[in-house]
Amino acid sequence: SQTIHQWPATLVQPVGSPLSLECTVEGTSNPNLYWYRQAAGRGLQLLFYSVGIGQISSEVPQNLSASRPQDRQFILSSKKLLLSDSGFYLCAWSRGVYYGYTFGSGTRLTVV
Amino acid sequence: AQSVTQLGSHVSVSEGALVLLRCNYSSSVPPYLFWYVQYPNQGLQLLLKYTTGATLVKGINGFEAEFKKSETSFHLTKPSAHMSDAAEYFCAVSDYNTDKLIFGTGTRLQVFP
């Protein structure tokens, strides 16, 4: 069966520090991969999605970047965190809209 | 372009009462429709989905939803609320052009004893 792993679960980082969040999928190949952010009390904001290795599409301009170095690995990064980067970050994978998305357990990022 | 609207950002019910969470969509073609649930500090979990066939879809935890094409709706219901149903619920519609899901803004369900 397919599983998605996302870590860390919580993270507290100072303003200006770098960020690296990792997401891996097991049990499938060539998945579509997504990074979402939830700010406090707000809905889901799609940040990045990827349909293959090295293929990244950005939905909104921001302080973050994403990379897909391997088929089932998706990384969210920042060189210098801002206070506004705080939020709950979710990774998801899909084989196509017919199947819906499967989400990871999320990372709570607090920038102080 | 596809879009989805969830009416009511907060819904409160008493334990044992009917749960009704509303979702309306806009799509130029028959869509795939989904309901997800999110418990605090967790990821989203699929409750149920409609793709084709029977318009009344049953999901996990006693939830069901009915696809009504004439009303462009996919409301989520549960006959009797339980305290453990307190969570945030998201409706989503498929976008075939981008092969992505379009999510609503979510409805937070509170259940009172």
Q: Report the alpha-carbon distance of residue A82 to residue A111 in Å, rounded.
A: 7
The length of chain B in residues reads 113
Q: Do B32 and A101 touch (CB under 8 A)?
A: no
Contact A98/B at CB under 8 A:
yes
Q: Report the alpha-carbon distance of residue B50 to residue B55 in Å, rounded.
A: 7
Eight-class DSSP state of A72: T
Q: Report the alpha-carbon distance of residue B85 to residue A50 in Å, rounded.
A: 33
Q: Which residues of A touch B3 (CB under 8 A)?
A: none
Place of tokens 């939020």: A87
Q: How confident is the model at residue A55, as a pLDDT? A: 95
Query: Residue A41 above 80 pLDDT?
Result: no
What is the token pair recorded at A95? 């084989």
pLDDT one-digit tens code per residue, B8-17: 999 999 999 9
Q: Which residues of A touch B45 (CB under 8 A)?
A: 103
Confidence of residue A2 (pLDDT cuts 50, 70, 90): confident
Non-local (6+) Cβ contacts of B67 within 8 A are B33, B50, B55, B56, B57, B73, B74
Confidence of residue A14 (pLDDT cuts 50, 70, 90): very high
Mean pLDDT of B15-27: 96
Contact A87/B at CB under 8 A:
no
Q: Which residues between 58 and 77 in chain A have a beta carbon less than 8 angstroms from any beta carbon of chain B? A: none
Confidence of residue A62 (pLDDT cuts 50, 70, 90): confident
Q: Do A32 and B99 touch (CB under 8 A)?
A: yes
Percent of chain B with pLDDT over 70: 100
Q: Which amino acid is at A112?
A: V
Helix (H) or strand (E) holding A59: none
Q: Do B105 and A43 touch (CB under 8 A)?
A: yes
Chains A–B, number of C-beta pairs less than 8 Å apart: 53
- Average pLDDT over chain B reads 94
Q: Which amino acid is at A99?
A: Y
Non-local (6+) Cβ contacts of B94 within 8 A are A97, A98, B2, B27, B31, B32, B33, B100, B101, B102
A58 phi, psi to nearest 5 deg: -100, 130
Confidence of residue A15 (pLDDT cuts 50, 70, 90): very high
